[in-house]
Structure 1
Amino acid sequence: MSYAMIRHLRRTTLLCEQLRTETTLTNVTQEEFLFRPPVAQWSKVIREAEKIVGYPTSFMNLRWLLSDKFANLAMHLRKIVGSNHPIMKTAKTVLYNEHNNLQPWGLIILLLSKAVSSPTYSIEATTLIEQQRMLAELTEMIRTGHYIHKGLLNIPLEERDKTKETSIFANKIAILIGDYLLVTANGMLARLKNQDLSYLISTALRDLSEGEFYGPRDLQNMPLPGKPVKKNDDSFKISADTIPLDVKDVLGSPVKEWTLRTMYNGGSLFGRGCEGALLLGGRSDSDQKKAYLFGCHLCLAWQAASELQKFTSTNKEPFSLVSAPVLFALNNTPKLYDGLKNITKVSTIDFEELKLRILETDAIEQTKSLFEQHAEKAKSYVEMFGDNPSVSTIKRLIKTL
């Protein structure tokens, strides 16, 4: 390992240690990070999966973490350790938390690639593996960059005095780091020189962007739930078409709203990453669409599991107001919405009291049913790619939820 790499590792390690010991983190969170599975059995299955793909995904992002540009930006984060800016929570999640991070995105894409790849060794096969690896990495980087951009504070002009200098500086760092990751990911996509793949990923970028303008928001751009409405049909059809997601008559219908928000918040991107892996592998359009639907349903299943974990654990952390349990509870008890409809700052909500009121409804049972539906659909789609170690491992990953 070169001296430059050792230097960058020391910088990153130092920053991670500071973030690990930091306890004054913001209580305000954007939509929850996707892919936050329970710790139990997770690490063991991840290690076995990495053996199958022949690549340690724990170090997938080492390339950009060790770059001079990123290292310099990351060191600036040290200046705001101790503040309650959302970028600190984001940095801690991305750089330190070994369980609740984005690594499963790339690993699942690599497992899916392995499941449909020819076992023969050749120059073409080696090139394909490298291309699929780049796709897995750039998919993670786009999601990470987008998530970092979401960790910005909206500071009114009249409040931008000296007391807000740290927040303004933190905003600049969040923008620069997010931009660096997105630009780097797009550069990798361009180097793959595949027009069809570029089109798929661009549609996912469109969905990520449109999601930031969907539905009501508070002053910090935190998502607020739509007004509950009673409808006979509360199902959202996921289509593999690359047209924009259907937003008609969605707000207020719990399943529709939750599904659309989750698709906007990364489900579409992960689905396109899975689809792109089969596109690179030369599989049929039909198989590519199946891969997209698999990715979307797996994403939705994991998101539901993550939200269930929030409500069934004893911690007092805040939760997203557009998570499935909240939307189900609002639909079951519309009076709950009266206390949220005029919220200007999510941070002012008494989350502990709201959680207790939600637990009095059958929202948890409905969310469990939602998880089971998507987990079963993800399993059925991945089984279409044969009976092999990669598919079996993906099914085990689903089972650990």
Structure 2
Amino acid sequence: MLSINEIKQPIAADIDVFEERFKASMRSSVPLLDRITHYIVKRKGKQIRPMFVFFSASLCGGINEATHRGAALVELLHTATLVHDDVVDNSYQRRGFFSINALWKNKIAVLVGDYLLSKGLLLSIDNGDFALLKIVSEAVKQMSEGELLQMEKARRMDIGEPVYYDVIRQKTASLIAACCACGAASAGADDATIEKMRLFGEKIGIAFQIKDDMFDFGTDDVGKPLGIDIKEKKVTLPLIYALNNCAADEKKHIINLVKNHNDDLEKIGVIISFVNRTGGLQYAETQMKKYRDEAFEILNSFPDGSARQGLEQLVRYTTERNK
């Protein structure tokens, strides 16, 4: 599998320009805010979402100024949701560094998230990118609904596969779908092509989240603490499958552990062992590959070239990564 730096080579120049513009888009005349946004930029991730925007635009007509604004819009709103998520989850780390709420407390973190959200909205409004704004705003709405749906179901442990897919389609896949749709729209693609790219991104987003959920039950050092979803009472696909394929008394016992002993490391180990023994990880991997292959079918309907190859490599990276 290629590294993320190797994958981005065809659009490396555009990513470099994007990073400078993204940094500039976050600047503020308020010293505290400027210090915090500088901290965020210094600890940026792999830029996978902007890469989906740029490769999708390249596939559908070509990268232009609107593409750069679309990538910045996506990243601003995504960053805002991450800052807010850390407050909601009482999380004090993000990508191995202290989160904004850990360093500057919840009130400031919420305000910083609001600031980033407003910067994204103004970036689109000031440039008349209303189509891009509509695409991304719809994704943010779905992300909020997905998070609330998961919280509601987690309280009662009332979640099966259909609900699980509804949650991850909204929580995770909607934003990657928006990235691909934004890229296509920025390049001037027609509505049918934009929808095709949105669906491509949605399938990748679902595969991406299933892969992420599998890490919770792995046995290797994958960069994500084992059992973190169990501690948060998140019922994910490996556990759903295992619960649906065991004896009734064992199912009752495991549900009791998740609901009442989810902070006990020994009990978490029992749950992880149960999921592995019952085939939950293997089933999840099969489903992840199904969605990935469906995405490839959509991608293969486009002409071959560096953009299509770049998207294929990016898809493989997101579904074959080990962290």
Q: Report if aligned partners of 1:224, 1:322 keep a CA contact under 8 Å in 2.
A: yes
Corresponding residue for 1:129? 64
Q: Report if aligned partners of 1:145, 1:182 keep a CA contact under 8 Å in 2.
A: yes
Higher helix share: 2
Corresponding residue for 2:276? 359
Q: CA deviation at 1:268?
A: 1.2
1:252 and 2:183 matched? no
Q: CA deviation at 1:66?
A: 4.9
252 and 153 in structure 1: CA distance in 2 versus 1, 3 angstrom threshold: closer
Q: TM-score, normalised by structure 1?
A: 0.64
59 and 374 in structure 1: CA distance in 2 versus 1, 3 angstrom threshold: farther
Corresponding residue for 2:133? 198
1:61-90 deviations in whole A, cap 9, x for unaligned? Answer: 322455444x6237579xxxxxxxxxxxxx
Corresponding residue for 1:286? 192
1:368 and 2:277 matched? no
CA separation in 1, counterparts of 2:189 and 2:179?
14
- One-letter amino acid of the counterpart of residue 396, structure 1: Q
1:253-303 deviations in whole A, cap 9, x for unaligned? Answer: 22x223221122132122123213222322222111101001111111222
1:392 and 2:309 matched? yes
60 and 373 in structure 1: CA distance in 2 versus 1, 3 angstrom threshold: farther
Give the counterpart of 1:211 among 142, 146, 170: 146
Q: Report if aligned partners of 2:173, 2:201 keep a CA contact under 8 Å in 1.
A: yes
Q: Secondary structure at the match of 2:149?
A: coil
Corresponding residue for 1:268? 174
Q: Secondary structure at the match of 1:252?
A: coil
Q: Report if aligned partners of 1:207, 1:264 keep a CA contact under 8 Å in 2.
A: yes
326 and 95 in structure 1: CA distance in 2 versus 1, 3 angstrom threshold: farther
1:105-140 deviations in whole A, cap 9, x for unaligned? Answer: 01111011011215xxxxxxxxx7111111111112
215 and 386 in structure 1: CA distance in 2 versus 1, 3 angstrom threshold: same
1:144-169 deviations in whole A, cap 9, x for unaligned? Answer: 211211112689xxxxxxxxxx9796
- One-letter amino acid of the counterpart of residue 319, structure 1: I
**How many residues end up aligned between the 2 structures?**
295
CA separation in 1, counterparts of 2:180 and 2:311?
13
CA separation in 2, counterparts of 1:367 and 1:109?
27
- One-letter amino acid of the counterpart of residue 51, structure 2: L
Q: Report if aligned partners of 1:139, 1:270 keep a CA contact under 8 Å in 2.
A: no
CA separation in 2, counterparts of 1:68 and 1:352?
49
Q: Secondary structure at the match of 2:159?
A: coil
Corresponding residue for 1:304? 210
Q: CA deviation at 1:389?
A: 0.2
Q: Report if aligned partners of 2:145, 2:171 keep a CA contact under 8 Å in 1.
A: no
CA separation in 1, counterparts of 2:198 and 2:64?
19
Q: Report if aligned partners of 2:18, 2:68 keep a CA contact under 8 Å in 1.
A: no
Q: Report if aligned partners of 1:111, 1:394 keep a CA contact under 8 Å in 2.
A: yes
Matches within 5 A, 1:13-162: 41-51=2-12, 53=14, 55=16, 61-64=22-25, 66-69=27-30, 72-73=32-33, 75=35, 95-96=42-43, 101=45, 103-117=47-61, 129-152=64-87
1:280-338 deviations in whole A, cap 9, x for unaligned? Answer: 32222211110100111111122222233443343453332233222222332433223
1:339 and 2:283 matched? no
- One-letter amino acid of the counterpart of residue 33, structure 2: L
225 and 329 in structure 1: CA distance in 2 versus 1, 3 angstrom threshold: farther
Please say which structure displays the higher CA radius of gyration: 1
What runs of 5+ residues in structure 2 fail to find an aligned partner? 91-100
CA separation in 1, counterparts of 2:172 and 2:42?
19
CA RMSD of aligned residues (A): 3.2
Q: Report if aligned partners of 1:149, 1:178 keep a CA contact under 8 Å in 2.
A: yes
CA separation in 2, counterparts of 1:60 and 1:308?
35
Q: Secondary structure at the match of 2:148?
A: coil
Q: Secondary structure at the match of 1:204?
A: helix
CA separation in 2, counterparts of 1:115 and 1:154?
37
Q: CA deviation at 1:183?
A: 1.0
CA separation in 1, counterparts of 2:174 and 2:12?
27
> Percent of aligned pairs with the same residue?
18
- One-letter amino acid of the counterpart of residue 372, structure 1: K
Q: Report if aligned partners of 2:242, 2:279 keep a CA contact under 8 Å in 1.
A: yes
